[in-house]
Structure formats: structure tokens, C-alpha cells
Amino acid sequence: MGNKQVTNGDESNSTSNQKNGYKLNNVNTKHTKKQKASPPEDAVTIEELIDDSKENKIEDSELITEAPTIRVVPPLNFCPVEKNLYRSGQPSALNHSFLEQLHLKSIIWLAIEDPQDNFLKFIDDNHINLFCNLGYDSVESNSWDGLSESSIKQALEIIADRRYHPLLVCCGMGRHRTGTVIGCLRKLQGWNFASVSEEYRRFTGPKGGRILVELLIEAFDVSTIRIDKKYAPDWLLR
């Protein structure tokens, strides 16, 4: 028996590939020498960063370690209506610090029930004019929850006199009674009823507005309001 010739695997593969029409290129397996990367021109060293952090260190005296002692929280449904005119629900003791920032001269209270004692004390301590029980007439045929056309008229005539400003209009929740007066004010300003209704509903909560309130606003005769132009606020004369 003749000796079998053992061929190198690479050679046999090369021969096979050549038969199949493939041409293998020699691959250079020499390792290229790695070049050391140079840092960018604007690079900084660790030492420089440490020095900068020391220079910019905040002093202990500059750190806020305690919460502010005065809590400034607006009342329920608080919102500016016009310059120096605001609306809200009945403020609580938590809201007094906020109200002090408004420097109120007058408050119109539209609810039938009396304001809470702490609210009355705040009004007295800050020498604020309080207008309440404005023209309420329980037997008036077109009154709603004690808020009649005459009470709306009186409220609007107070609002239309800037001598009482800054002024807050409020009731128990700042929704329907306050919304009625502000809605009639918007009508006095010439707003279209769709815009008046949208603003009223914005403060009524998830239950929505009351149709009776919107009907009262729509039917209210703004021509009965007496305005002294000498004391009228600028935003009412536009």
C-alpha cells in the first residue's frame, strides 16, 4: 500500500477556493503600533477642577436649612378679575398672609350667613371696609338664594368705584353668588354671553354651573347701574 499524502488544510482550502473561482488575498497580520492620544486644547486637569470647586463652594450661611415661616396660600377659587379687583371663596386663617399682600381696602360678602369669626377679625385688624347683606329680599320673586337684582346692582356700583379698591368679592365657596356678580360685571363690560358663561362655569367645580344663575346673568339689566366716571376704574371705561 502506498503512503497517503497529508495536505495542509489551508492549502486544500485555498485550492478548493481557487477551483470555485474565488481568489483569496493575503491578509497582513502584522500588528500596527498604537499611537498615544493627545488631550484636547481645552482639557482641564483633576487638580484644576478641585481648585475651581473650592472657589465656588457655597458657604454654610448661604444654604437654606429651614422652610419659610410665612405660608402664603390663596383662598379657595381665588382669581384676579381686573386690576385691584379679586374674587374668591371665604378665606380661612391659612389665607390671611396672602390677603395681606393685596392691601385690600374693601370686601364684598355675598353669602346670607355671616363670615367666620377669624375672617371678621382679619377684616377688623386690617381696617377693611366690609359690605354685606346687600339688598337681600327673601320675598323678591326673581331672587336666587337671597341674591337679588338689587343686591347685584349695589355690589356692581361698589365695584365700579375705584375708591373702594383694592377690593375682594367673595362668598362661601366663591362659585355661584360670586360668579353671578362677576358675570353681571362682565356683561356691563360688554362681554358676549358665551364668554360670560364659560368664565362662570370655570369656578363651579365638577357639578357644573346652575342654569338659574346663567338665566339671571343673561336677564340682568346693566342699564340700571349708576357709574360715576370720575371714580370709575380705567378697565371699566374702555
CA–CA distance, 204 with 200 (Å, rounded to integer): 7
Return the residue matching grid coordinates 360715576: 228
- Reading the block at residue 149, the C-alpha cell is 337684582
Return the residue matching grid coordinates 381696602: 105
Phi, psi of 221 (to 5 degrees): -95, 105
CA–CA distance, 98 with 72 (Å, rounded to integer): 5
DSSP-assigned states of every residue in 142-182: T-BTTB-HHHHHHHHHHHT-GGG-SEEEEESSSSHHHHHHH
Spot the catalytic one: 132, 170, 171, 184. Answer: 171
For residue 171, indicate whether it is catalytic. Answer: yes
Q: Which residues are catalytic?
A: 171
